[in-house]
Chain A
Amino acid sequence: MKSRTGKRRYTVIGVLLTAVMLFPVYWMINVSLTPQQDMRKSPPDLLPLHPTFEGYRAVLNDQMPYLGTSLLIGLGTVALTLVLAAPAGFALAKLRPLGGGTLGLALLVAQMIPGIVMAMGFYGIFLDLGLLNSWWGLIIADSTIAVPFGVMIFTAFMSGIPGELISAARIDGAGTWRTFRSVVLPVSRNAVVTVALFSFLWAWSDFVFANTLDGGGTWRPITLGIYKYIGNNNQEWNAIMATAVVASIPAAVLLVLAQRYVAAGVTAGAVKD
């Protein structure tokens, strides 16, 4: 219908819009490569003409433990979220448990509670239990962001699994647990990937819980690494931005590997068809 030049014009406009939108990301990379003496230059260099890796060297020297902790907390949150959310999603979708409707409502409401309020509640509890400044305390706190979302994704996805598939497994003599593990989970791979992806990203990006519950320990995540960097030396912006670039790598990698899951996750979390 459209002429070929018309379509090409759309591509050009699209590239321009994307460039504008991603300018801050480009700027972060540009600043991370700018030498210290050029940092306050006016006008700023729009291209990394004299790239330096001193910022990245600082990351390697100072931030590796933080990155390790974030990885640990991210993977722990993924595991905890999947273990809790997948069976519950299956039950809500297929087993019609008592009080299932109330539970669904509770999960929706849970997503609306501000993280800062949860942080204050957790602070008191963790103080009592001596859990402050521990990495597993943070896994527990971070999972509260992902678990309600995870249950909703699993419920929505597993409702779509044909009932015949489950009855067939039953007739073959599989109990509910076997059916869940050997039939339902394998066909729900997409939902598992979506939930894992989002729980990892949320745990990796968490700042509120990290800053309130894990401010002083030895196991601190990368978000605090950046935050402390900004506080301590707001001169070395190339190092701060280099840390930011490194901290963004999981998001970038996951986006490339799993972009359709990302879109699926955003929409499934918000609009149910």
Chain B
Amino acid sequence: MTIARVDRRSQRSPARSGATGTGQRTDASDLRRRQRRRSRLTALAFIAPLVVYLAAFYLYPLYRNLDLSLRDYTVRSFVQGDAPFSGLDNFRTVLDDPTFGPAMRHTVIFTFASIAFQYVAGLALAVFFNRHFRLAGTLRALFLIPWLLPLIVSASTWSWMFNSESGVINYALHFVGVSPVDWLNSPDWALTSVVIANIWIGIPFNLVILYSGLQNIPAELYEAASLDGAGAWQQFRRITFPLLRPVSAITLLLGLVYTLKVFDLIWIMTKGGPGDASSTLATWSYQLGFGTLLPKFGPGAAVGNILILIALVFGLLYIRVQRRQEA
């Protein structure tokens, strides 16, 4: 925004100084214009490496991926680079594939179940840790650990915890009288298992952002409310939740965008299986492109591009919400 304004001013000022006509002023404005051009070149020099980098390592890979999805590739043509152009064939193949429906459905379930539970747990914990008590800061920091661990570490730990015979989860269930579940190998439970693990990973992120949102709510509001005799639940409903709404919106949208792309966790825990019981668009795309000995790069890239499209819809929503908050 500001940039556009500066531009307009810089276009107008030479004309204005020209209108006044005196030679001295023109010199001064010439000097100013030269300075402005110099500082603009300096600014350009500072961002040029980033622009070159983005072009080479974002735009170009994305272009290659788009190109991949519009051509008919085999392993040989992939190496030789002479795959024939096939238009939207790959997209048609993917949409007609029996995996498409389930993968789409699982993506929706995985994403929404994950962020709903992460958000509720994160919010409850943020409210809890917003009280002043001993160790509050330390414990809150410890809550970050699941989020900082490499995903492969969390995924393999949860795999072993979910193990049907020797897993600690089935042991705990046995303890309360529930018969063991074959979590990762049963079509009914595989998706639930990866959702549970993903909720665990996402809680810290929600906790931190919502906690920082809580910090910005003035304490006087709560004091006034408690003078009016409002209980803890009423204070939460009437003050905390409404005032936290902008931060909540950002948290949920970011969660949405991040969760859509989750791949490692599902791949390491179930490989999208059994069958396609826990496959999402992300794992299916990988499965097509890299998961077999006969890779289908074209369809894999097509699924990836569909995923980008979905992510962008929510991404633009995120940008809109953030813009509106800044205004």
Contact = CB atoms under 8 A, between A and B. Distances in A.
A90 B54 CA distance: 17
A108 to B, nearest CB: 6
B57 A87 contact: no
Given A101-B3, A151-B50, A25 B68 contact: no
A99 B79 CA distance: 38
Nearest to A122: B61
A46 to B, nearest CB: 8
Interface in B1-49: 1-4, 6-7, 39-40, 42-44, 46-47, 49
A271 B250 contact: yes
Max chain B C-beta neighbours (<10 A), residue from A42, A114, A140 = A114
A176 B40 CA distance: 11
B264 interface: yes
Given A115-B261, A120-B65, A267-B212, A97 B40 contact: yes
22 contacts: A7-B134, A8-B133, A14-B128, A15-B135, A21-B203, A85-B50, A96-B3, A97-B40, A101-B4, A113-B308, A114-B308, A116-B285, A117-B301, A207-B264, A207-B268, A212-B290, A223-B150, A251-B150, A263-B208, A267-B208, A271-B213, A271-B250
Given A14-B128, A25-B146, A251-B148, A87 B209 contact: no
> How would you classify the secondary structure of chain A's contact residues: helix, strand, loop or mixed?
helix
Contacts, number: 292
B239 interface: no
Interface stretch (A51-59, A186-194, A240-248): A240-248
A44 B3 contact: no
> How would you classify the secondary structure of chain B's contact residues: helix, strand, loop or mixed?
helix
What are the nearest 7 A-B pairs in CB distance?
A121-B61, A95-B43, A97-B43, A205-B150, A91-B46, A114-B261, A10-B133
Interface in B40-82: 40, 42-44, 46-47, 49-51, 53-54, 57-58, 60-65, 68, 78-79, 81
Contact of B6 (A96, A103, A207): A96
Interface string A1-14: 01000011011011
B47 A97 contact: yes
Nearest to B201: A24
A10 to B, nearest CB: 4
Max chain A C-beta neighbours (<10 A), residue from B42, B148, B314 = B148
Given A91-B43, A176-B42, A262 B150 contact: no
Interface of A: 2, 7-8, 10-11, 13-15, 17-18, 21-22, 24-25, 27-28, 31, 39-44, 83-85, 87-88, 90-92, 95-101, 103, 105-125, 127-128, 140-141, 143-144, 147, 151, 176, 180, 201, 204-205, 207-208, 211-212, 222-223, 226-227, 230, 237, 240-241, 244, 247-248, 251-252, 254-255, 259, 262-263, 266-267, 270-273
A192 B61 CA distance: 28
Interface of B: 1-4, 6-7, 39-40, 42-44, 46-47, 49-51, 53-54, 57-58, 60-65, 68, 78-79, 81, 125, 128-129, 131-136, 139, 141-146, 148-154, 156-161, 165-166, 168, 171, 174, 200, 203, 205, 208-209, 212-213, 216, 247, 250-251, 254, 257, 260-261, 263-264, 268, 282, 285-286, 289-290, 297, 300-301, 304-305, 307-308, 311-312, 314-315, 318-319, 322, 326
Given A22-B145, A120-B65, A251-B148, A98 B43 contact: yes
A122 B305 CA distance: 14
A117 B319 contact: no
Nearest to B322: A272
Contact of B60 (A91, A121, A266): A121
Contact of B254 (A91, A103, A240, A270): A270
A99 B50 CA distance: 13
A166 to B, nearest CB: 12
Contacts of B40: 97-98
Nearest to B326: A272
Given A11-B135, A27-B161, A241-B160, 9 more contacts: A21-B200, A24-B157, A91-B47, A96-B3, A98-B43, A108-B315, A123-B290, A201-B148, A248-B150
